[in-house]
Amino acid sequence: MCGLLTYISATGIGQSMAGPVGDALESIHHRGPDGTGIHADNDVVLGFKRLSIIDVEHSNQPLHYGNGRYSITFNGEIYNYVELRAELTRLGAEFATQGDTEVIVAGYHHWGADVIRRLRGMFAFVIWDRRERIAFGGRDPFGIKPMFHLVTDHGVFFASEKKALLPLARWGDATLDMANLSHYLTLQYVPEPGTLHRDIGRIGSGECFRYTPGQGLAIRRYWRAEFRPTPQDHPEELYKRIREVLRESVRIHMRSDVPVGAFLSSGIDSTACVALAREFNPNILTFTAALEVDGYSELPVAEDSARQLGVTMHPVSVTAQMMMDALPRIVWHLDEPVADPALIPLYYVARKASEHVTVALSGEGSDEFFAGYRVYREPLSLKTVNGLPAGVQKGLRVVSKAIPTGVKGKSFLERGTTPIEERYYGNARMYTEAEKSVLMRQYDSSVRYTDVTAPLYAEAQHLGDVEKMQYIDLYTWLRGDILVKADRMSMANSLEVRVPFLDYTVFDIASTIPTDLKLPPKTVETKYALRRAMEGVVPPGIVNRVKLGFPTPIRVWLRGEMYGWAENILGTSKAGHLVDLGYVRRLLHEHKRGDADHSRKIWTVLVFCLWYAIFVEGSIDPRPTPAASALLTKPVVGSMVS
């Protein structure tokens, strides 16, 4: 787990860019405090920050291979590198290190671009071939590791975080992207592949690229999720296969030369990871967050699970003041605004974990793979309406419009007579179009959430409604919110987070589960097949428990401890020419009085105001000082990498 900043010159000015690239590289020091590497020649500048995990004493980057023909910068972990190394050795490959980085570049030499299909792990990498004068790289299938790019007239930059590209964007028009601001206000995150800076984009999950100086950047998709629900005559065999593939995924995700721990909440996902990891390391340490507000703390259940599993837990308490203190720094680490309050407890859990381990397992991806969100049950509940003839549905839609707002049945009829392509656009739904027309100073009615989801629905048109929803979330919510949250909050604390559920072997089996074994019609359970697979592995009380997922009581705190803080941000922000801050202040006042729960809408704008102050206005500078950055450097097993 590391940070890269790579520049490929189109005009032979690489040497002159070494200084600016080196300076910009320091903005992602937190991603790799164990070592810095920079290589520059006329064609390229390769910058790297290393967090040493595997082959600690060697495998420094940029890594050169093939008598200097290839150079690579790589962020992530390849879990099957041992097996790939053995296969490449039989093909005649020679290795100077024991790590996974060299395996990627050796694989590229022998297999070309097909190497990316053989990698099992989380990754974002750039390989420069000096002989062919071609850059090749890509990103893992699910988008676990980030990759930003900035294309200019004199070359292309790639970086693990967008902030590293901002000082280098002066040759381009890095102005605010209003369409993506509109999407953010709907979704609570900026959807890939764009960003809020118009000229900076992202390599998408499951995408690779080729760059030839003078010929531009060519991006293509090498992997796409395929759900293929298959009827099961013997469900118990399916549950057994799920259990076996998860056990094997956890095992291979624990490959490391440094200590590995795990996050533990009250739900089945993280508990399953811990229970399976304990089989390979009985002394694994676990970490969780505690929020001292009734109904929000996962600590009692997590502590009970840790006790039953026989593992040590390290909890961290998170208060309203801690959230207010950390949010500016968190927004800086995010690069893009993400209005998920769960970021803050995750930030503090990662900080606690980094005091004890360098790697932590986490349960991200389970909900998207195994149908864990309660909203996935909606197509089942709406069958009585959306299964009716089109003419009848049209009539019911007219009836629903006549029913007063708040009256029981109105929402059911509206949603039941609305096609899923218009009805579902992910887990987060902040501002409606009508609300945005009031909120946004430059509202454009032609920009809709369907701009994001329509291409995805076109790809999933052959699937049932539940699988369509899973597909939408895989390409929006998962990579726009969940994985951004996991990567940035862990890397902010120089901690590597690994996600065993997000493994292609796990998806291969999860993608075959029929809808009735994910969401049985006669129960209220989600992730039914996963829960059955984990019986006897996780404590009985967790098997059917609904996961909270590090929830935060902003609804409560914005009426109390956070009210004045929020009012001050809204009252002093210079983003008023983009969003109507007076409108949001009225929402805050209504929320305080208890007239309505506007907490998520308010939080969405608060995060944007902080983002604007940091990245546009420059009135807030939460960056760690060089001295503070140095404090992030911690000892690792073996020698320090210089």
Distance between CA atoms of 376 and 459, rounded to whole angstroms? 19
Residue 614, SS3 per DSSP = helix
Distance between CA atoms of 112 and 178, rounded to whole angstroms? 39
Place of tokens 């059911």: 412
In DSSP terms, 6 is beta-bridged to 46, 158
For the chain, the domain total comes to 3
**Is 82 inside a domain boundary?**
yes
Q: What is the pLDDT of residue 641?
A: 25
| Residue (of 478, 288, 286, 285) closest to 366 by Cα position | 478
Calculate ∠ Cα 117-121-126, nearest 5°: 65
Neighbour order of strands in the sheet with 44-50: 35-40, 44-50, 2-9, 155-159, 148-152, 200-202
Whether 180 and 145 have beta carbons less than 8 Å apart is answered as no
Up-side HSE of residue 404: CA atoms within 13 Å toward CB?
2
Distance between CA atoms of 460 and 586, rounded to whole angstroms? 41
**Is 260 inside a domain boundary?**
yes
Distance between CA atoms of 428 and 480, rounded to whole angstroms? 11
Q: What is the pLDDT of residue 626?
A: 60
Among candidate residues 520, 552, 584, the one where a domain is terminated: 552
Residues 485 and 615 reside in one and the same domain:
no
CATH number of the domain at 320, please. 3.40.50.620
Distance between CA atoms of 337 and 5, rounded to whole angstroms? 21
Tell me the per-residue pLDDT of 251-282, one tens digit each, with 9 for 90 and over. 999 998 889 999 999 899 999 999 999 999 99
Tell me the per-residue pLDDT of 572-607, one tens digit each, with 9 for 90 and over. 999 999 999 999 999 999 999 999 999 999 999 999
Residues 37 and 170 reside in one and the same domain:
yes
Q: What are phi and psi of 70, to 5 degrees?
A: -110, 145
In DSSP terms, 40 is beta-bridged to 45
φ/ψ region of 451 (left if φ > 0, alpha if ψ in -120 to 50, else beta) reads alpha
The structure's pTM equals 0.94
Q: How far is CA 341 from CA 111, 514, 551, 555, 604, in A?
A: 43, 33, 8, 10, 9
**Is 229 inside a domain boundary?**
no
Residues 607 and 495 reside in one and the same domain:
no
Q: What is the pLDDT of residue 94?
A: 93
Q: What is the pLDDT of residue 170?
A: 63
For the record, the structure tokens of 235 come out as 């469900």
Residues 6+ apart with CB under 8 A from 521: 380
Residues 207 and 352 reside in one and the same domain:
no
Whether 503 and 366 have beta carbons less than 8 Å apart is answered as no
Identity of the residue numbered 426 = G
**Is 407 inside a domain boundary?**
no
- DSSP output for 502-540: SSHHHHHHHTT--HHHHS-TTS--SSHHHHHHTBTTB-H
Distance between CA atoms of 493 and 347, rounded to whole angstroms? 8
Residues 212 and 239 reside in one and the same domain:
no
Distance between CA atoms of 572 and 425, rounded to whole angstroms? 33
Calculate ∠ Cα 456-460-461, nearest 5°: 115
State which residues of the chain have pLDDT below 50: 171-173, 629-642
Distance between CA atoms of 305 and 57, rounded to whole angstroms? 37
Element (H, E) at 566: helix 563-572
Q: What is the pLDDT of residue 637?
A: 29
Whether 472 and 460 have beta carbons less than 8 Å apart is answered as yes
Residues 290 and 354 reside in one and the same domain:
yes
**Is 189 inside a domain boundary?**
no
- DSSP output for 271-318: HHHHHHHHHH-TT-EEEEEE--STTT--HHHHHHHHHHHT-EEEEEE-
Q: What is the pLDDT of residue 642?
A: 21
Residues 217 and 240 reside in one and the same domain:
no
For the record, the structure tokens of 94 come out as 């020679």
Calculate ∠ Cα 30-318-162, nearest 5°: 30
Cβ count within 10 A of residue 22: 15
Residues 13 and 151 reside in one and the same domain:
yes
Among candidate residues 552, 579, 607, the one where a domain is terminated: 552
For the record, the structure tokens of 170 come out as 């002066």
Strand runs labelled E in 130-265: 134-139, 148-152, 155-159, 200-202, 207-212, 216-221, 260-263
Q: 58: which DSSP letter? A: S
Note if 609 is an active site residue.
no
Residues 578 and 515 reside in one and the same domain:
no
3-class SS letters over 483-501: HHHHHHHHHCCCCEEECCC
Residues 105 and 84 reside in one and the same domain:
yes
**Is 328 inside a domain boundary?**
yes
3-class SS letters over 330-379: HHHHHCCCCCCCCHHHHHHHHHHHHCCCCEEECCCCHHHHHCCCHHHHHH
Buried b (16+ CB within 10 A) or exposed e, 305-329: bbeebebebbbbebebebbbebbbb
Strand runs labelled E in 108-215: 121-129, 134-139, 148-152, 155-159, 200-202, 207-212
SS3 content of the chain, % helix, strand, coil (to 5): 45, 15, 40
Place of tokens 């390409």: 475
Whether 347 and 492 have beta carbons less than 8 Å apart is answered as yes
Residues 6+ apart with CB under 8 A from 582: none
Biggest CA-to-CA distance, the chain? 75
Q: How far is CA 227 from CA 111, 242, 269, in A?
A: 28, 16, 21
Domain ranges, residue 65: 2-175+202-221
Q: How far is CA 585 from CA 410, 572, 596, 612, in A?
A: 29, 12, 13, 17
Among candidate residues 526, 552, 578, the one where a domain is terminated: 552
> Of 2, 208, 273, 609, which one is the catalytic site residue?
2
Sign of CA dihedral 58, 61, 62, 66: positive
**Is 483 inside a domain boundary?**
yes
Whether 363 and 266 have beta carbons less than 8 Å apart is answered as no
Residues 120 and 65 reside in one and the same domain:
yes
Residues 122 and 261 reside in one and the same domain:
no
CATH number of the domain at 123, please. 3.60.20.10
